[in-house]
Amino acid sequence: MDVKMKSRGIGLSFFVFNFFVFSSILPLSFSAANQPRSFKKPDHQFGSSAVFPVQGNVYPLGHYTVSLNMGYPPKLFDLDIDSGSDLTWVQCDAPCKGCTKPNDQLYKPKNNLVRCVDRLCAEVQLTTDQHCATPDDQCDYEVEYADNGSSLGVLVQDYVPLQFTNGSVVRPRIAFGCGYDQKFSGSTSPPSTAGVLGLGSGSASILSQLHSLGLIRNVVGHCLSGRGGGFLFFGDDLIPSSGIVWTPMLPDSSEKHYSAGPAELFFNGKTTAVKGLELIFDSGSSYTYFNSQAYQAIVDLVSNALKGKQLKRATEDPSLPVCWKGAKSFKSLSDVTNYFKPLALSFTKMKNVKMQIPPEAYLIVTKYGNVCLGILDGTEVGLENLNIIGDISLQDKMVIYDNEKQQIGWVSTNCDRLPNADRDFEDDFPHTYPDSFGILSDQCSATYDK
């Protein structure tokens, strides 16, 4: 057992037990208590955004990540960007189950545990039935994901230095999870990332925390490139003033998901029988999932349109449930897109609001040289009637979750470079941008107000 871990508040439960200490809800001003001393609310509030380069791809990696500096001195953590959950967590340097990183790449808490009376603590509980025996108790959390993966750990608070598009470097203290017991879903291998960056709208998310510190508008967006990589941003500075289509977020009672609908499926420009879909926008999911009925309809539509073409089902390819092979093995999506028709989702309550899903946004070419359908049966994996728009269909679009106006927007764009926003960042910030591109290296550790 690591003695340092016992330094404050970390009881045995932190190390050994898997159940968590419940806490009660007591009003404690989280944001005011933890604002960096140097921070003053600017007169022109929310004038800026933070931008991060994204790494990763849908296939073969299956995730998109950002490297976030966390802690003091700051350390970089590769975090899976997840618009489907709130809590950000990193693998924890504590006796740890399901930690996949070497020790020196784990986060080490030191006297910075969030107390169980903190109002944020109530946000990260699975149940509302919480007890907080002593106010100084640590705040344990557990998150469970739709794929049955989970993380269990303790809430900590630490510096997360960010460079904003106006050139300023800000070092807010942000609460996040230190996960010491991770479970991965049976089918997939443990993720190679150090944790998850929760982009949801719940008050525990980094987005909400930055917003309540007065640093950004409550807006987050991503642009995932089909060639891999892309960018992520907090705040609304990068949003182009035109070209985006917006649809209202569904008020999603218990779950804080970004969802929209109802939508109707179009295939090759024509309406289909698939209607009334509610869709969750989830960058934490590699593929797109539809309920069984819609899924079957899509498989039939796509398969039928392949009749008479040189493609045969490749049942031997284990990559995904539905694959096809050609006369020759395929090298890239450009070899196959001609065989396939575009899909689209039309948001029926809105005029002319469609999300185009071209073949590139629902197919992958596997290492075996086959093409597979990146749309999966959600009902079969326990998602019941939920429909999830995953990374594959979010590629090559800027997707914006605007919690201020309660709307989701998107526009097809090249995610390999920054968009033409209202301001030309490359001119405004010739040195800090895009060289450092929102990410700080060790340079800033010297100037922490500790």
From the list 132-140, 182-190, 284-292, 293-301, the region that binds ligand NAG by CB under 6 A is 182-190
215 touches ligand NAG by CB under 6 A: yes
Is residue 166 near ligand NAG by the rule CB under 6 A?
yes
Residue 99 vs 383, nearer CB to ligand NAG = 383
Cβ of residue 186: shortest distance to ligand NAG, in angstroms? 6
Q: Considering the rule CB under 6 A, would residue 58 count as an interface residue with ligand NAG?
A: no
SS3 assignment for the chain: CCHHHHCCCCCHHHHCCCCCCCCCCCCCCHHHHHCCCCCCCCCCCCCCCEEEEEEEECCCCCEEEEEEEECCCCEEEEEEEECCCCCCEEEECCCCECCCCCHHHCECCCCCECECCCHHHHHCCCCCCCCCCCCCCECEEEEECCCCCEEEEEEEEEECCEEECCCCEECCEEEEEEEEEEECCCCCCCCCCCEEEECCCCCCCHHHHHHHCCCCCCEEEEEECCCCCEEEEECCCCCCCCCCEEEECCCCCCCCCCEEEEEEEEECCEECCCCCEEEEECCCCCCEEECHHHHHHHHHHHHHCCCCCCCEECCCCCCCCCEEECCCCCCCHHHCHHHCCCEEEEECCCCCCEEEECHHHCEEECCCCCEEECEEECHHHCCCCCEEECHHHHECEEEEEECCCCEEEEEECCCCCCCCCCCCHHHHCCCCCCCCCCCCCHHHHHHCCC
Among 26, 147, 245, 335, binds ligand NAG (CB under 6 A): 147
Give yes or no for residue 48 binding ligand NAG (CB under 6 A).
yes
In the complex, least distance from residue 164 CB atom to ligand NAG, rounded to whole angstroms: 4
Can you read off the two tokens belonging to residue 337? 């897109």
Q: How far is the CB of 156 from ligand NAG (least distance, A)?
A: 23
Q: Which of 285, 279, 298, 289 is CA-nearest to residue 391?
A: 285
Q: How far is the CB of 216 from ligand NAG (least distance, A)?
A: 6
| Complex with ligand NAG: residue 293 or 329, whichever CB lies closer | 293
The rounded distance, in Å, linking the Cα atoms of 403 and 429 is 28
For position 169 contacting ligand NAG by CB under 6 A, the verdict is no
The least distance separating ligand NAG from the CB of residue 69, rounded to whole angstroms, comes to 16
Binding flag, residue 30, ligand NAG (CB under 6 A): no
Shortest reach from residue 236's CB to ligand NAG, in Å: 11
So which residues are the catalytic ones? 82, 282
According to the binding rule CB under 6 A, does residue 436 interact with ligand NAG?
no
3-state helix, strand, coil in the chain (%, to 5): 15, 30, 55
| Distance in Å, CB of 251 to ligand NAG, minimum | 27
With contacts defined by CB under 6 A, name the span among 13-21, 43-51, 129-137, 311-319 that binds ligand NAG: 43-51
Q: Which of 122, 124, 132, 170 binds ligand NAG (CB under 6 A)?
A: 170
Our CB check for ligand NAG shows the closer of 289 and 340 to be 289
Smallest separation (angstroms) from ligand NAG to the CB of 91: 22
Contact range with ligand NAG by CB under 6 A, out of 103-111, 161-169, 294-302, 333-341: 161-169
**CA dist., res. 105 & res. 102, Å (int):** 6
Question: Number of residues in contact with ligand NAG, rule: CB under 6 A?
Answer: 16
| 259 contacts ligand NAG (rule: CB under 6 A) | no
Q: What is the rounded distance in angstroms from the CA atom of residue 50 to the CA atom of residue 171? A: 12
Tokens coding 247: 């649809």
User: By CB under 6 A, is residue 114 in contact with ligand NAG?
Assistant: no
* 444 is an interface residue for ligand NAG by CB under 6 A: no
| Residue among 156 and 386 whose Cβ is closer to ligand NAG | 386
* Minimum CB distance to ligand NAG smaller for 193 or for 379: 379
Distances (CA, A) of 274 to 89, 268, 344: 37, 14, 11
- The stretch near ligand NAG (CB under 6 A) out of 17-25, 71-79, 166-174, 176-184 is 166-174
Binding residue for ligand NAG (CB under 6 A) from 24, 67, 168, 296? 168
Residue 397 C-beta: closest distance to ligand NAG, Å: 26
**From residue 364 to residue 393, what is the string marking binding to ligand NAG with x (rule CB under 6 A)?**
-----------------xx-----------
Q: Would you say 216 or 323 has its CB closer to ligand NAG?
A: 216
Of the residues 1, 17, 18, 42, which one makes contact with ligand NAG according to CB under 6 A: 42
CA distance 260 to 86: 18
Query: Considering beta carbons, is residue 92 or 216 the nearer one to ligand NAG?
Result: 216
Instruction: State the Rg of the chain over Cα.
Output: 22
The DSSP code for 44 is S
- Report the interface residues with ligand NAG, using CB under 6 A: 42, 46-48, 147-148, 164, 166, 168, 170, 185-187, 215, 381-382
